Amino acid sequence: MDISDHNRNAIFERLLRPYLERLYRLAYRLTGSKAEAEDLFQDVLVKLFGKLEDLAAIEEPGSWTSRVMFHHFIDNRRRFARQRLLSVDESQLPQKSIESLPGVDDPEQDAERLDDIIRLGKALAELSDDHRLVVLLHDTEGYKLTEIQAITGDPVGTLKSRLHRARARLRALLSAGATF
Amino acid sequence: MMLCKQLNEKLDDYMDGTLDETEMAVLQSHAESCESCQQTLKSAQRLRKLLQDCPVPMPDAAYFDRALAQATRVSTSHQRNRWIMTGFGGALAAGLIAWIIGGVLLKTPDLPDSDASIPGVVIALEVPYTVNLVFSSATELDGAVLTVSLPPGVEIEGFAGQREITWITSLKAGKNILPLTLIATTAHGGELLARLEHDNRDRTFRIRVTVT
């Protein structure tokens, strides 16, 4: 790809745009708050623009850009101080989030579901960072373990046992709340 | 009870369908007749469903456009202005310097400091005015984070509507210049803050902006 000063912006946008949503979601899963996610996302975009030649040469930009974001987050973890992983306050939930959940159209079920989401957020906050990340990427975002390995560099076996422990811990935390 | 324990231990594999056929059939058959295991499976399925539905408050499409545009602007501007290890003569020749904060080194600094007194700049409404921030650093600082916070009604050219802008940058040992072109959109003025962070330390520079 012929990259020159006058076409850098256009090439950057064309290469990166298909991965923006995935990157933003990863930023949110890593930081746990909209403000921090936006900071991390913007930082990484600036960083990626500086690596445009690498971006253009890479075979799997999705994994590579996610890896850049993960390592930037780890390197700057103190700056991206985790406030919460999930919104545990109703006012923090995105508008219409409950309505957008599939199969829910009953007010009582909505309330119950919101309660479940809040409890899940609290339970997730009890997990270690590693456990929380693997369960959110795998079970929530639908990443395969090999894709998580490509981002974090941890072996698949390690990730699998971490995932099982994270789920077991979540089940234990939630069942301690009786009715779950 | 034995099968209950087995199902609990292999719950994830059972739900993922990764058990071998024989074991799967045995546990399925058991689960159909065991109320306790049915409850366990129901809870586990509910947890999975909830995890799948965990919301991410996504920004609108325009946000991504802005983020892309800002990334290229910041990087380009950054490359162009890259904390030029000065340079005063060159900058003057280019007509850039309207005002300079003199950098003063601390005795044991990793980060540069400015004069204790708050310097000021007077700018006219709606007229672009380039201010050069000069940072003196005793050592090279890689991966420093600079955040510029603007008073109400003052913008940096190219960043309309943004009150806070962050760069990731590196400082060379010696003097480093960052030109910022300010535009006042209202007559309020106020204090501009430039916060420099590196290795868990930070220093804040204050600049009084008066609009006439």
Q: What is the pLDDT of residues B166-175, one digit of tens each?
A: 766 677 766 6
Q: B30 and B93: one domain?
A: no
Which among A20, A25, A50 is the nearest to B56, CB-wise? A25
Q: What is the CATH number of the domain that holds B139?
A: 2.60.40.10
Q: B48 and B65: one domain?
A: no
Do A24 and B51 count as a contact with CB atoms less than 8 A apart? no
| Interface membership of A117 toward B (CB under 8 Å) | yes
The predicted structure's pLDDT at residue B33: 92
Q: B43 and B123: one domain?
A: no
Whether the pLDDT of residue A31 is over 80: the answer is yes
Q: The domain containing residue A153 runs over which residues?
A: 93-175
The predicted structure's pLDDT at residue A86: 34
Q: How far apart are the first and last CA of chain B?
A: 83
| Interface membership of B55 toward A (CB under 8 Å) | yes
Q: Which among B175, B133, B129 has a CA at the least distance from the CA of B156?
A: B129
The predicted structure's pLDDT at residue B103: 31
Percent of chain B with pLDDT over 90: 14
Burial of B158 (0-12, 13-18, 19+ CB in 10 A): middle
Placement of tokens 């602007």 in the chain: B73
Q: B24 and B48: one domain?
A: yes
Average pLDDT score over residue span B150-162 = 83
Do B75 and A29 count as a contact with CB atoms less than 8 A apart? no
Do A101 and B56 count as a contact with CB atoms less than 8 A apart? no
Sign of the alpha-carbon dihedral angle for A160, A18, A63, A49: negative
Which of A28, A43, A75 is a domain's end point? Answer: A75
Residue B112 near residue B203 (C-beta atoms within 8 A): yes
Closest A-chain CA to B63: A38
pLDDT bucket at B46, cuts 50 / 70 / 90: confident
| Interface membership of A78 toward B (CB under 8 Å) | yes
Q: Which has more confidence, B97 or B163?
A: B163
The predicted structure's pLDDT at residue A1: 67
Spatial distance between the Cα atoms of B94 and B88, rounded to a whole number of angstroms: 10
Q: B44 and B76: one domain?
A: no
Task: Give chain A's domain count.
Answer: 2
Which of A44, A75, A106 is a domain's end point? Answer: A75
pLDDT bucket at A99, cuts 50 / 70 / 90: very low
Give the CA distances from residue A15 to residues A27, A48, A54, A77, B70, in Å, rounded to whole numbers and listed in that order. 19, 11, 11, 27, 16
| Interface membership of A158 toward B (CB under 8 Å) | no
Spatial distance between the Cα atoms of A111 and A108, rounded to a whole number of angstroms: 5
Question: A47 contacts in B (CB within 8 Å)?
Answer: 168
CB pairs under 8 A between A and B: 107
Q: B17 and B110: one domain?
A: no
Q: A101 and A60: one domain?
A: no
Percent of chain A with pLDDT over 70: 77
Spatial distance between the Cα atoms of B40 and B3, rounded to a whole number of angstroms: 13
The predicted structure's pLDDT at residue A170: 92
Spatial distance between the Cα atoms of B79 and B168, rounded to a whole number of angstroms: 12
The predicted structure's pLDDT at residue B76: 53
Which among B51, B55, B67 is the nearest to A42, CB-wise? B67
Average pLDDT score over residue span A25-47 = 88
Average pLDDT score over residue span B145-157 = 85
pLDDT bucket at B140, cuts 50 / 70 / 90: confident
**Cβ neighbours of residue A50 closer than 8 Å, sequence gap 6 or more:** B75
Q: B69 and B48: one domain?
A: no
Q: B104 and B204: one domain?
A: yes
Give the CA distances from residue A133 to residues A28, A143, B5, B198, in Å, rounded to whole numbers and listed in that order. 11, 11, 28, 27
Which of A75, A110, A134 is a domain's end point? Answer: A75
Lowest model confidence (mean pLDDT) among A138-142, B90-94, B175-179: B90-94
Q: The domain containing residue B25 runs over which residues?
A: 2-52
| Interface membership of B54 toward A (CB under 8 Å) | yes
CA atoms within 13 A on the CB side of A36: 22
Which among A42, A97, A171 is the nearest to B70, CB-wise? A42
Whether the pLDDT of residue B82 is over 70: the answer is no
| Interface membership of B70 toward A (CB under 8 Å) | yes
Q: B44 and B126: one domain?
A: no
Phi, psi (rounded to 5 degrees) for B167: -115, 150
Task: Give chain B's domain count.
Answer: 2
